[in-house]
Amino acid sequence: MFQKLEYIRVGSYTKKLNDFPTLKKQLWEKLRDTKFEDTIAKQDLQEINISTHINFQPYFDLKQIPIPSDLDKILFYLLEDKILSKQDNGLYSITNLGAILFANQLKNFPSVGRKALRIVKYNGKNKINMEQEILLDKGYVIAFSEIMTLINALLPTKETINPTTGIREKEILYPQIAIREAVANALIHQDLSITGTGPVIEIFDNRIEITNPGSPLVDIKRIIDTPPKSRNEKIASLTRQLKICEELGTGWDKIATSCELAQLPAPKIEIYEDSTRVVLLTHIPYVNQTSTDKIRACYIHTCLKYISGEYMNNSSLRKRFGLGTTASASMSRLIKDTINSDLIKPLDPTTAPRHMCYIPFWG
C-alpha cells in the first residue's frame, strides 16, 4: 500500500510525493489507521440504486425492526451502522462492511469479490474425488441460513429409529452448534487484508475442515480462557446485533463443549503461514484415536472443567470418552502423557493418587 503513495496531484501538475515528506507521513498514517471495514467498496450511488447492490431486508429482519416504508428512514439506519456513507456530493457509498455482509453479489465489489465462501464436498477421506463445489457469492449475513442448510445437506448422516414413533430418522454426525460457531468464527474473524483468498468449508467422510485467511490473534493453547479479541471489530459488533455471533469469546468453548458432550474427538486448530483451519472429527473409538488426539482431548476437558469451577480427574475423563471403570489405567496413562506434554498439572501434588485432580498448566 505504501509503495503506491508515489505521486500527488497539485492543480494541473503531478508532483512526487517524496517532495512533500510531511504530507506523505500524514497520508500514510491515515491509510494505516483506516480499517478495512470503513473503506469504500462502491461509490457514487443514488438512493434508488443502493438496493441493486445490497440486500438490506435481513438487516431489519434480524434486528426485529419493521422495515420502514420511507427510503430516507431506511438509509438512516444503514448510515448509522456504517453500511453506507454519504458523500460530499450528496451521493452514497457502500462500505466494505456493508458489502461483505449484505452484498447481493460479492463479485460486483472488487475489494471483497474473492471473499465469497466456498463449500466443497469430497467423496472419501481425501481430496482425490471432489463430489460437489458451491460458491456462495453473497454477503455473509444474507447467506448465513443458506450456508447452514447447505452444509447439513452435504454432511454424512446415520439412520436411527425414533423410540416413540418407530420412524427412521437421519441424524447428523456433528453437533449443530459446533458447526455454526466454527463457520461464524471463520467468516467474522478472517484476515480481510489477505487478498486472493477467502473462507472454505471442506466436507470429508470423517471430518469437516473450516479454513479462513489469517492467523489467530491469541495463543491457541489459551483460546478457552483468553478474553475475546476481534480482528474485524465492526463486523463482529454488527453480526452480534444480528444474532450471528456473540462477541463474548465463547465460540470455541461451545465448539469444544458440544464435541465433548457428543463424545467426539476434540476439535483441533491448525495454523499455517497465512490461514487457520478448524477440524471437526466424526466419532472415533478411543482405542483408535491417535496419542495426539487423546492428549488434546484431555487438555481441553481439563480447561472446560477449570473454567466451570471444577477439576479434571480420572473419573471425569472416563466419562468424557464414554468409558467404564475398567479404563481407569488407560486414563491414568493419558493423564501422565498430558502432564509430560506440559499441558496440565496436579491441583495438589501431595494428594493420594486415587483422589488426584488436575488443572491446566496456566491455572
pLDDT tens per residue, range 274-287: 999 999 999 999 99
Secondary structure, 3-state, 229-294: CCCCHHHHHHHHHCCCCCCCCCHHHHHHHHHHHCCCCCCEEEECCCEEEEEEECCCCHHHCCHHHH
pLDDT over threshold 70, residue 5: no
Going by pLDDT thresholds of 50, 70 and 90, the confidence category of residue 217 is: confident
User: In 3-state terms, what secondary structure has residue 4?
Assistant: helix
Q: What DSSP element (H or E) covers 8?
A: strand 7-10
Count CA within 13 A, CB hemisphere, residue 57. 7
Q: How far is CA 239 from the centre of its chain?
A: 12
Q: Residue 170: which pLDDT band, with cuts at 50, 70 and 90?
A: confident
Handedness of CA 103, 104, 109, 112 (dihedral sign): positive
Pairing verdict, β 200-203 and 117-122: parallel
- Asked if residues 39 and 98 have their Cβ atoms less than 8 Å apart, the reply is no
| pLDDT of amino acid 172 | 82
State how far the Cα of 110 lies from the Cα of 223, in Å rounded to an integer: 33
Domains of the chain: 1-33 (no CATH), 38-112 (no CATH), 116-281 (3.30.565.60), 286-360 (1.10.10)
Tell me, what's the pLDDT at 200?
98
Nearest Cα to Cα of residue 199 among 259, 147, 235, 265: 147
Is 189 within 8 Å of 214 (Cβ atoms)?
yes
- The contacts found for 341-349 with CB under 8 angstroms, 24 or more apart, are 341/295, 341/299, 343/221, 343/295, 343/298, 343/299, 343/302, 344/298, 344/299, 344/302, 344/312, 347/311
Query: Average per-residue pLDDT in the chain?
Result: 89
The pLDDT value recorded for residue 26 is 52
Residue pLDDT, tens place only, 23-65: 545 544 444 446 899 999 999 999 999 999 999 999 999 999 9
Of residues 230 and 54, more confidently modeled: 54
Residue 315 host element (H or E) = helix 314-321
- Mean pLDDT along residues 336-340: 98
Distance CA 249, CA 46 (A): 39
Which of 309, 303, 320, 317 minimizes the C-alpha distance to 359? 303
Contact between 84 and 97 under an 8 Å Cβ cutoff? The reply is no
pLDDT digits (tens, 9 = 90+) for 317-337: 999 999 999 999 999 999 999
pLDDT of residue 19: 57
Average pLDDT over residues 205-226: 92
Q: With a cut of 90, say whether residue 12 has pLDDT above it.
A: no
Please state the pTM of the whole predicted model: 0.86
d(CA 67, CA 82): 18
Nearest of 209, 340, 153, 192 to residue 274 by alpha carbon? 192
Residue type, 24: K
For residues 248 and 141, the model is more confident at 141
| 44 class by beta-carbon count within 10 Å (0-12 exposed, 13-18 middle, 19+ buried) | exposed
Q: Is the model's pLDDT at 179 over the cut of 70?
A: yes
Tens-place pLDDT, residues 62-121: 999 999 999 999 999 999 999 999 999 999 999 999 999 999 999 999 999 999 999 999
Sheet holding 40-45, edge to edge: 40-45, 92-95, 84-86
- Span 266-295, average pLDDT: 96
